[in-house]
Amino acid sequence: MLMLAGIVVVHIATIIMLLVATMDSAWWVTETESTDLWYRWKFSDSAWHYTNVDNYQDAVEYFQTVQATSVLACIFAILALCVFVAQLFTLPKGHRFAFTGFLQLIACLCIMTAASIYTNTLHTNDSNGWYGHSYILAWVSFVLSLILTITYLVLRKKNE
Amino acid sequence: MLTFLALASVLLLGIVPERSQAIVIYTGWERHGLVGSDIRLSCSFFSWRWTSEDVTFSWTYRPDGSRDSISIFHYTGGVPYVDNKGPFRDRLEFVGNPGRRDGSILIKNLDFSDNGTFTCDAKNPPDIVGRPSSVRVLVFETVPIQAGVITGAIIGVVLGLLVLIVVIYYLMRFLVARRVFSLSVSKHGKKKKEGPQQRQLWTPPPLTCYPLP
């Protein structure tokens, strides 16, 4: 029972982290701006202003791929939780949670793709700034979802 | 009773042509343009009447932050009159087709001072009651990247593939189960027959699961 609760808690934490990483525009932060993936916050005249992202002209496709894969990671993580709860009731005894593990694996791969593409193609020569909390959460949720994938693929339903 | 109905219908038919119905004008909501490029502002209308020869289109411009509008284009009596004194002189061109209810204009060589609201007002006599429609023009130095076509395409394709895989999986299971019941004796059939039976004997699960040692 405790293990079940633990797994569900970790899964929900992963979903929350993925959602924050996707929705919060804080992948790259400098003194005066907090940017990516959807909008940019610029600090001027002692107030934060909400503007568009408009300077990755040579990496538009990569940027939009990061957007798409991070959204997909959120969707698949939430789907995996729903399928896990459903499989708790419908899976025959002794079987593995294969479908849940499969969905969670796709979520893990998606967020890994997003974070990797972002690291490799954007802000590579930019020394004026640092990675923000959304970026860090993206990598942490990758690790957690990897652990969850392995857990689901190894876990078997209790055979009594 | 019948005579009353007849009189009422004649009266109504008599009144309706005297009233002009509302005309609905369509422009965009917002248009983005790069500095130095051309932008086409479309304007069309819907009217219950045929397009009359006295149809008029007029465009007015209100800069961002200003409360006054200035008239920049007027089409009437089959002749378009473009701005020749105001901020758009030599930059405005009429590219619409009034016969097709299109009163679009083309603004060439956009500048940051062109940020503002453009309002199109069309009249199709006797249909003159209507609300003018406005389009906001935003001029950028570089085009902003928002969630674009590639984003939507990737998300759509992956989700579609997932739905396809799930559907095919359940379809295969369903088809294999049906083949079992039509086959009389076969090892493959016997193995599969046990599968569904096991499920029928299966009872709702306990809410615990531990990994096997």
Q: How many CA atoms lie within 13 A of A154 on its CB side?
A: 11
What CATH code is carried by the domain that includes residue A123? 1.20.140.150
A89 falls within a domain:
yes
| DSSP states of B96-111 | -BGGGTB--EEE-S--
A92 falls within a domain:
yes
Is B78 near chain A, with CB under 8 Å?
Answer: no
A36 falls within a domain:
no
- Cβ under 8 Å to B: A residues 23-52: 38, 52
- Cβ under 8 Å to A: B residues 112-131: none
Task: Tell me the angle at which helices A98-121 and A133-154 cross, rounded to the nearest 10 degrees.
Answer: 150
Q: Say if residues A81 and A104 touch (Cβ distance below 8 Å).
A: no
A17 falls within a domain:
yes
A135 falls within a domain:
yes
Q: Do B145 and A52 lie within an 8 Å CB cutoff?
A: yes
Structural domain tally of chain A?
A: 1
Chain A nearest-CA distance from B167, in A, is: 13
Q: Do B154 and A54 lie within an 8 Å CB cutoff?
A: no
Chain A nearest-CA distance from B194, in A, is: 13
Q: Is B200 helix (H, G, I), strand (E, B) or coil?
A: helix
A152 falls within a domain:
yes
Q: How many CA atoms lie within 13 A of A16 on its CB side?
A: 6
Beginning with the edge strand found earlier in the chain, give each strand of the sheet holding B92-94 in spatial order.
Answer: B39-41, B105-107, B92-94
Residue B37 has pLDDT above 90, yes or no: no
Which of A104-108, A127-131, B9-13 tops mean pLDDT? A104-108
Is B109 near chain A, with CB under 8 Å?
Answer: no
Predicted confidence (pLDDT) per residue in B64-89, tens digit: 888 898 999 999 888 888 888 888 88
pLDDT-based confidence at residue B15 (cuts at 50, 70, 90): low
pLDDT at B10: 67
A53 falls within a domain:
no
Q: Do B147 and A38 lie within an 8 Å CB cutoff?
A: yes
C-alpha B11/C-alpha B7 separation (Å) is 6
Please give the residue range of the domain that contains residue A20: 2-27+59-159
Comparing alpha-carbon positions, the chain A residue that sits nearest to B147 is A64
Arithmetic mean of pLDDT, B144-158: 81
- Written as six digits, the tokens of B92 are 């405005």
Which of A54, A58, A122 to substitute to test the interface with B, most B CBs within 10 Å?
A54
Predicted confidence (pLDDT) per residue in B90-123, tens digit: 889 888 888 888 888 999 888 888 899 999 999 8
Predicted confidence (pLDDT) per residue in A68-121, tens digit: 999 999 999 999 999 999 998 888 888 888 889 999 999 999 999 999 999 998
A100 falls within a domain:
yes
Q: Do A72 and B154 lie within an 8 Å CB cutoff?
A: yes
